[in-house]
Amino acid sequence: MPELPEVENTRRNLVRAGLPGCAISSAEITWANTVKKPSAAELAVGLKNRTIQDVQRRGKYLVFPLSGAGPANFIVHLGMTGRLLVQPQSQGPDPMTRHSFPLDDGRELRFVDGRKFGKLWLVDSPAEVLPAMSPEPFDDQFTVETLAESFAGKKAPVKALLLDQSIACGLGNLYADESLFLAGLHPERPASGLSIDEVARLRQSIIDALTAAYGVYDRARDQHWPDPPTALTTWSHPRDVKADCPNCGTKMTAIRVRARGTYFCANCQV
Ligand SMILES: [Zn+2]
């Protein structure tokens, strides 16, 4: 599932492809359930001849402010498997392409979405769509204090809270595991039991995990342009119980935390 680094990678890919400034000529929606607001037909009409001004991201949502009359924001959630690509109209589309948005320059914005969990909106304001989210991990407002406050009084496993977008927006299963691995914290520790030093270590580990992932994607984009990869292994903990912890050599442990597959080192993470 795309998490913050994958969505940010998509954003950077689209910016590099020169999507801002392009006008959408039409919209071909082949799976209407993807469109959450308004109807698929209204979305198609509403996008026609609108110019994409920018590609922005908030949490795992991509926001495309549009110029001209009509709802001002096209919003995309990639769901489980979604990818957004800008390709020449002459290039054969991936068979899993669900929606196509021909652009005025001979290219096409394509939403490839094998499992069809992606979502689209065309609305006046992102506030109509976006849920309550924590500050972005790279924002100054994502502080040790706010994270500690979110954990206060909560007996839930710290891993479960890291998946709550109102606590650490953009984190999903993989980067929650990686942040806890880097911080040396056991995923089942009750969140309220973490010391302030441990919360500080966790906050820094979240930032370190995301920074490393951005770096991997940025290098891959440079190397593989114009076909950058969209899903890479960017984390350092092995997700395999036959593999050794890279720090201490202990075999990795797999458990379930609130039904989510969780990998950790029972020796390093306490
Ligand atoms: Zn270890």
Q: Please write the tens of the pLDDT for every residue from 48-106.
A: 999 999 999 999 999 999 999 999 999 999 999 999 999 999 999 999 999 999 999 99
Which residues fall within 8 angstroms of residue 52, CB to CB, at 6 or more apart?
Answer: 19, 20, 21, 22, 23, 24, 64, 65, 66, 74
- Kindly list the structural domains of the chain, giving each domain's residue range(s) and its CATH number in brackets, ordered by start: 4-128 (3.20.190.10), 144-264 (1.10.8.50)
DSSP-assigned letter for residue 216: H
Which residues fall within 8 angstroms of residue 200, CB to CB, at 6 or more apart?
Answer: 144
How far does residue 239's CA lie from ligand 1's centre (Å)?
13
209 vs 243: CA distance, rounded Å: 20
Please give the torsion angle defined by the CA atoms of residues 246, 60, 202 and 206, in that order, rounded to the nearest 10 degrees: 50
* Average pLDDT estimate for 25-33: 96
How far does residue 160's CA lie from ligand 1's centre (Å)?
21
How far does residue 12's CA lie from ligand 1's centre (Å)?
34
How far does residue 11's CA lie from ligand 1's centre (Å)?
34
| Phi, psi torsion values for 84, nearest 5 degrees | -115, 125
| Residue tagged active-site, from 50, 60, 98, 189 | 60
Looking at residue 1, its pLDDT comes to 81
How far does residue 265's CA lie from ligand 1's centre (Å)?
5
Active-site residue flag, 60: yes
How far does residue 184's CA lie from ligand 1's centre (Å)?
9
How far does residue 67's CA lie from ligand 1's centre (Å)?
52
Are the CB atoms for 190 and 160 separated by under 8 Å?
no
70 vs 3: CA distance, rounded Å: 30
Per the confidence metrics, is the pTM higher than 0.75?
yes
* Confidence bin at 33 (pLDDT 50/70/90): very high
Are the CB atoms for 250 and 266 separated by under 8 Å?
yes
Placement of tokens 């290219």 in the chain = 107
Q: Tokens at residue 167, please?
A: 């606590």
Active-site residue flag, 260: yes
How far does residue 180's CA lie from ligand 1's centre (Å)?
12
Q: Which of 252, 259, 211 is nearest to 235 (CA)?
A: 211
DSSP-assigned letter for residue 124: S
* Confidence bin at 229 (pLDDT 50/70/90): very high
191 vs 263: CA distance, rounded Å: 18
The burial class, CB within 10 Å (0-12 / 13-18 / 19+), for 218 is: middle
* Average pLDDT estimate for 1-29: 97
Per residue in 110-156, pLDDT (tens digit) is 999 999 999 999 999 999 999 999 999 999 999 999 999 999 999 99
Per residue in 199-226, pLDDT (tens digit) is 999 999 999 999 999 999 999 999 999 9
Looking at residue 89, its pLDDT comes to 96
Per residue in 169-205, pLDDT (tens digit) is 999 999 999 999 999 999 999 999 999 999 999 999 9
Active-site residue flag, 145: no
How far does residue 257's CA lie from ligand 1's centre (Å)?
19
| Phi, psi torsion values for 194, nearest 5 degrees | -75, 140
| Residue tagged active-site, from 36, 154, 239, 260 | 260
Looking at residue 168, its pLDDT comes to 97
